[in-house]
Amino acid sequence: MFSSTYLLPLLFVPFTKAQNTSVDLNWYAPNSTWVNNLSSVINGTGTHSFVFNSSQLPRGTRYGTYNWCNMPHVRREEYPVADKQYELVYVEVIHRHHKRTPYASNTFPKESYSWYCSDEALFYYGKPLNANGNASASTYWNVYTSNTNPFAPTGFNGTCQFPQITREGLDDSWQHGKDLYGVYHDLLRFLPDYMDDKVTYRVTNNVITSEVAGMLIDGMYKPSATIPLKIQPPSVDSLEPAYTCSAASNLFSSYGVGSSNSVWAAHLAAAKPLYATLDSISGVANTSTDWHTSFDHYFDNLSARQCHSKPLPCAISNPNNCVTQEEADAVYRLGQYEYSFIYRDSSSSLQASVGSFGVWIAELAQNIRDSISGASPVIYRHNVAHDGSVSRLLSILQIDVMVWPGMGSEVVFELYKNNGTGSKRFVRILWGGQILTSSNPTLGKVDMLNVDVLLAYFDGLVGVGASKVVAYC
């Protein structure tokens, strides 16, 4: 009485593999570096060569250096080509959208200048899909305020939606697509010359990922036809992620943002003087919990400005009282520390991430299985997502050194056949364009790992069909 949908997983995922007890599902602490060392973060200086002020790296800086404004990704120049005996058979890419304005929720109560997006446009329209149907004009949003409307917008004035991928962020997206195409098409001759059903793109319900996807796909294929972007309904979107998992949210809240966890409280306490200075300039009330339970808002506010060569903010009442570069750098160090704690240093991080991102992991595992079984023609899947998606993925992979995934942060899963081993498949995981190393010994340096081991790790954590996620949430 098996339907074909049940038959496939049974045939290709023998239970013995899912129950392989030699796959270690435990949480392992990340490396000790400045990122998770409170004394380095609070009493240190600078940003340890991390870049926060341009999409371009300073002259002479090695590509691969952390750049919040435009993180490293797979490019031809640095791409580690696999040994000739391995044949690439499936690629799945996930990355954070590119640089944007701040979210309105991260703008100061009164901003000292305006932010314009008049050099780009966001196209919104519906259109019948049948070629002979009525057509649609290619219309875009033109943001304005009127003198008659008595309410001033929160945060910045100007002509942007907050958030919106900026003009430079659009160009970074295009280049990202071109660089991926340079490797997977030009160098490896893996991608088809023209877009077909072998190549698919997916976005989240936050429109900024669609803004990126359009540019990125043009950087790859310059298609003249319309292109579908796969998207799940907002209530169940596994990529954003947006499905409800109260157990995971509660677990995050028990040790991270808003919690009284001693490690979390200690960093906020140590940062009190910095908070006082920033509040006095921004006008944010020191009672505002949004701003004072983590550095997220200050980090986003300051970095969005600096990534777009805008000056650090000054007090409305005193234009000479401005945030200094030293203070901004301290915020950037604290942001790294917070992401490392929430997604890696806390021993609860693995379960919290498994609950909140496990559905996407199960989908990835199924995509890999479908590639192996031949059930799907897709050889390249591309997901445009958020820092919340990439952080949770890195958490589940137990990356050795966690950072806050900046704009364009990329993880690539590559599935290979080895021509000497029959049907066996192997996996590489690339982070920032280079091989990812996990603190979990089952994964280790993920360079031609037996795919059965990775699938057993995923199944062990999230269950086939995300059954364990459902049970947990």
Residues that bind ligand NAG (CB under 6 A): 16-17, 20, 22-23, 31-32, 37-40, 42-43, 53-54, 58, 84-85, 102-109, 111-114, 132-134, 145, 152, 155, 157, 270, 284, 286, 297, 300-301, 304, 400-401, 419, 437, 442, 452-453
CB of 331 to ligand NAG, least distance (A): 11
Strands (E), 376-454: 380-385, 410-418, 425-431, 434-435, 447-450
Of 406, 388, 409, 394, whose CA–CA distance to 440 is shortest?
394
Structure tokens, 425: 């498949």
- Between CA 352 and CA 248 the distance in angstroms is 5
Are 71 and 406 in contact by the 8 Å Cβ rule? The answer is yes
Residue with smaller CB distance to ligand NAG, 232 or 282? 282
Residue with smaller CB distance to ligand NAG, 204 or 306? 306
Q: What are phi and psi of 222, to 5 degrees?
A: 40, 50
Residue with smaller CB distance to ligand NAG, 393 or 436? 436
Q: What are phi and psi of 263, to 5 degrees?
A: -65, -45
| Residues 6 or more apart whose Cβ sits within 8 Å of residue 329 | 45, 46, 47, 52
- Between CA 72 and CA 63 the distance in angstroms is 7
Are 100 and 208 in contact by the 8 Å Cβ rule? The answer is yes
CB of 346 to ligand NAG, least distance (A): 16
CB of 3 to ligand NAG, least distance (A): 27
- CA separation, residue 163 to residues 49, 211, 212, 440 (Å): 27, 11, 13, 36
Q: What is the CA radius of gyration of the chain?
A: 23
- CA separation, residue 282 to residues 107, 275, 311, 378 (Å): 9, 10, 14, 49
CB of 206 to ligand NAG, least distance (A): 14
- Between CA 397 and CA 275 the distance in angstroms is 33
CB of 208 to ligand NAG, least distance (A): 12
Strands (E), 75-221: 86-96, 122-123, 140-141, 199-202
Residue with smaller CB distance to ligand NAG, 54 or 293? 54
Of 408, 436, 434, whose CA–CA distance to 63 is shortest?
434
CB of 161 to ligand NAG, least distance (A): 12
Residue with smaller CB distance to ligand NAG, 236 or 269? 269
Q: Which residue is nearest to ligand NAG (CB)?
A: 102
CB of 20 to ligand NAG, least distance (A): 4
Residue with smaller CB distance to ligand NAG, 234 or 441? 441
CB of 251 to ligand NAG, least distance (A): 25
Residue with smaller CB distance to ligand NAG, 244 or 419? 419
Residue with smaller CB distance to ligand NAG, 381 or 400? 400
CB of 186 to ligand NAG, least distance (A): 21
Residue with smaller CB distance to ligand NAG, 112 or 259? 112
- CA separation, residue 27 to residues 339, 355, 449 (Å): 16, 14, 19
Residue with smaller CB distance to ligand NAG, 133 or 228? 133
User: What torsion do the CA atoms of 275, 278, 284, 287 make, to the nearest 10 degrees?
Assistant: 10
CB of 216 to ligand NAG, least distance (A): 22
